[in-house]
A = this chain, B = another copy of it.
């Protein structure tokens, strides 16, 4: 039995990079060859999404530890989209990737347990390795997720400090000398610690946006047993320097997500000019490599390239 925190660490070390590729298929941005007709049924769009995501997975599977499908875009297509989501998760796992489903699920008691049962572990219907969850309902809404995750060698990433400008509304409020995100972080770290056994990181992680570099560094310090999932790199404005504080000294402890800037690299510079839409997979490949090199050059993730850390 290998707990999720350890599985993720092994995958990051094997690939020597913390790049997490977001699978956010958007109909209007699919490469020309995969564009569904304007009047296409949801079923055809779902087929295109699955094909596109398989195409991305084929390219990135040898070089990154994990992918993060965004549930919303699949749900947007109705039931056919959900079938495509299940296919994409299965395909990614077959290619050796860890799959972190970004669904931000949340509920209480047995309903939270139903979500966990739905998504976590190979034996579940969707078969993801981890799921993002939202903490607004309190500890008793997180515990059912953590319990199922623990049983199934799976993980849970709790939203702590999100990357959007409006995250200050609640998350930065100060109550009893602690911000709300610090309080959530303390609960998450405690849950992570409880799942650790003798491994450095547990089954519970935290989502902390790349757009808040100071908080990233602060939370890396206060959440010693917690993996950080860092969105907001690239398209949302976070740079390699911004995420530097998210890592531990060995380049572990954080995975850095990029979605649009990688999967739709074909219509942004320099990839657009170099290859163009027909070679969109080549663009994905180079954008992924460029991101990995940036992180290696400008953050402690560079230590992963050091032979002695393996």
Q: Quick check: is A96 within 8 A (CB to CB) of the other chain?
A: no
Q: How far is the CA of A167 from the CA of B162 in the complex (A)?
A: 20
Q: Which residues of B contact A79 (CB under 8 A)?
A: 79, 82-83, 86, 125
User: Which of B24, B78, B118, B139 interacts with A169 by CB under 8 Å?
Assistant: B139
**Among A180-188, A275-283, A290-298, the stretch in contact with B:** A180-188
Residues of B within 8 A of A197 (CB): none
Complex partner residue of A175 from B72, B135, B180, CB under 8 angstroms: B180
Contact with B along A153-187 (1 / 0, CB 8 A): 00000010011111111110111100010011001
Indicate whether A118 sits within 8 Å of B159 (C-beta atoms), given known contacts A138-B167, A140-B164, A184-B170.
no
Quote the shortest CB–CB distance from A281 to chain B (angstroms).
24
A173 touches B162 (CB 8 A): no
Residue A215 lies at the interface, judged by CB distance under 8 Å to chain B = no
Q: A83 contacts which chain B residues (CB < 8 A)?
A: 79
14 residue pairs A–B, Cβ–Cβ below 8 Å: A70-B111, A72-B115, A75-B126, A76-B114, A76-B118, A104-B134, A106-B134, A108-B164, A134-B136, A137-B166, A138-B166, A138-B170, A140-B165, A175-B175
A76-B118, A138-B167, A138-B171 given; 20 more Cβ-contact pairs under 8 Å: A70-B111, A72-B107, A72-B115, A72-B118, A78-B125, A79-B82, A82-B82, A104-B106, A109-B164, A134-B137, A136-B136, A136-B162, A136-B171, A137-B159, A138-B165, A138-B168, A139-B166, A139-B169, A173-B183, A174-B175
A residues apposed to B, CB below 8 Å: 24, 26, 42, 70, 72-73, 75-79, 81-83, 86, 104-112, 114-115, 117-119, 125-126, 134-141, 159, 162-171, 173-176, 180, 183-184, 187
